[in-house]
Structure 1
């Protein structure tokens, strides 16, 4: 399992946001600041995930890339593959990142949905 400081930072921001959300009126300014930091940190998380997928043998190109990574909501990660990935590949990917679990996604077999635990 890998330890990635960018992902750890992102999960810390999500935890802080959850705690501050308990008293939204009192913490409105802090919540706005953390939300801005979360948006910036998402690009770091996407970059880390792309690097992991490239280390696993997939290609990232401008056209006909083997995958495309998107953040869904705050803790969701959607990966669109060009070809349907094997279960072994998904399991190996999931093991590379701490606090990442596969989530059920009904629909296109070329898409994999994961959630961060925080």
Structure 2
């Protein structure tokens, strides 16, 4: 599999980690769309929300709770933040490994977040 996020999980590509558990990894986005921009991914490869199944429900819940934790760690929880999950090419998905963008650090208007 030639998935960049799977390579980050395996340590083959370096990342600036923010948070990590046995099942989830969060790291800073290399092309930030806001002053604070991190990505939260499950370590298990799931291409997109369209490929997620009932068996992934607990893992996806962990991803969302990790996103909350990342917002706290990065100091944007109090002022507010946005979570984005792009699905498919029309939805702006570029990397086909499910991920949640955590954005904040300023008042967010209409952002175009691809990834």
Q: Is this a same-fold pair by TM over 0.5? A: no
- TM-score scaled by length of structure 1: 0.38
Q: Of the two structures, which has the highest relative contact order with CA contacts closer than 8 Å and spacing of 6 or more?
A: 2
